[in-house]
Structure 1
Amino acid sequence: MKLIGSTTSPYVRKARIVLAEKHIGYNFELDGPWNADSHVPDYNPLGKVPVLIMDDGTSLFDSRVIVEYLDSVNPVSRLIPESNRRRIMVKRWEALADGICDAAAAVYLEHKRQGMQQSQEWISRQQNKVARGLEMASRELGDKKWCDGNVYTLADIALGCALGYLAFRFPEIEWRNNLSNLAELFERLEKRPPFMETTPHD
């Protein structure tokens, strides 16, 4: 298998961590949709990463689809529970984490536009989404060790990638001081080899 993506995308990082946790071998091809010579649209018409190229040449895109497929490939260390209620709640965590990433990425891209073209109203709307998402994540996590309770799942990976993206692109957001349980979870996650090996960088 081959994974196409960048070292900065939290969605690519999520897929890379799942691949590592599932002990699935793959080749990692660096390519970003913003590169002038990008081949990403050749595999994903939406021009987004990650893209997973399976052994038969079929391409999978959207990180949620990719990680669900990967979890089904190898029964070892299941990251998405089979129980319907728990499964839905883990996927809900993933949706929340990805939503935080969506909003944060929107702010990052808006800041790259020239000053006169930037919309402060748009930036504020996205920043509020990030703040509300973090508050909900902290509230839902409570005093549990992991998002799903005592078991490490895709929920923790997705949230860890979202928090890692904020730490990388928006170090000025003080969620570590204001939401201590998220900070503690993030510290635990960052000690795991798959997280250490995928720390985002330009």
Structure 2
Amino acid sequence: MKLIGSTASPYVRKVRVVMAEKKLDYRFQEENVWSEETAISTANPLGKVPCLVMEGGEAVFDSRVIVEYLDTLSPVGKLIPGTGRERAEVKTWEALADGVLDAGVLARLEATWAGRQDGERSQAWMARQLGKVRAGLQAMSQGLGDKPYCSGIHLSLSDIAVGCALGWLEFRFPQIAWRTDHPNLARLMDKLMQRQSFIDTKPH
């Protein structure tokens, strides 16, 4: 398998962490989708990463679809429950973490996209998106409480998704003091950063 992605993307990191935890072999192909020379559309018509290219050339895209597929490839380290409320809980955690990222990415693009002049950037839009980020962090903190992990007593996709979101905020929005505001999230992140899968995929 070949994974097309960027080392700065939190969605790509989520897939890479899952692959590492599942002990799956793959080749990583770095791709800058913002470059004029990018060829990502040959694999994903939406022009986005991550994109997983199978041995037969078929492409699977969207990080949620990819990690769901990857979890079925090996019984090692099951990350998503098969059915029921436990499955819904893990997928909801993933949706919350990805939603925080979606809002953060929109705010960052508004602030940095080269296609706009400074006078064209909407402060109100950025404030709205960062409000979603803060609300999402609050919901994560409340959901985690004093538990060792987001869902149950073992690592799951819930924790991977949350960890990738927190790591990206640390990378791109160091001014958001989520560690101070939510010490339980900081403890979870510190625990995740002891895992080789998180050490090896730190955004840069």
| TM-score tier (shorter) | over 0.9
1:117 paired with 2:120, answer yes
For 1:180 and 1:194, the matched residues in 2 are separated by: 22
Q: Find runs of 4+ consecutive structure 1 residues off by over 2 angstroms.
A: none
In the TM superposition, what are the counterparts of 1:1-202 in structure 2 within 5 Å? 1-112=1-112, 113-201=116-204
1:149 Cα offset (Å)? 2.2
Consecutive unaligned residues of structure 2, counting only runs of 5 or more, are: none
Deviations 1:95-133 (A, max 9, x none): 000000001111111111431010011101100000000
1:75 Cα offset (Å)? 1.3
For 1:39 and 1:22, the matched residues in 2 are separated by: 28
For 2:56 and 2:88, the matched residues in 1 are separated by: 30
Consecutive unaligned residues of structure 1, counting only runs of 5 or more, are: none
Name the % identity: 53
| Length-normalised TM-score, structure 1 | 0.98
Moved more, 163-172 or 106-115: 106-115
Question: What is the number of equivalent residue pairs in this alignment?
Answer: 201
| Length-normalised TM-score, structure 2 | 0.97
Q: Which amino acid aligns with 1:173?
A: I
For 1:195 and 1:88, the matched residues in 2 are separated by: 24
For 2:200 and 2:45, the matched residues in 1 are separated by: 29
Q: What SS class does the counterpart of residue 72 from structure 2 fall into? A: helix
For 1:22 and 1:77, the matched residues in 2 are separated by: 6
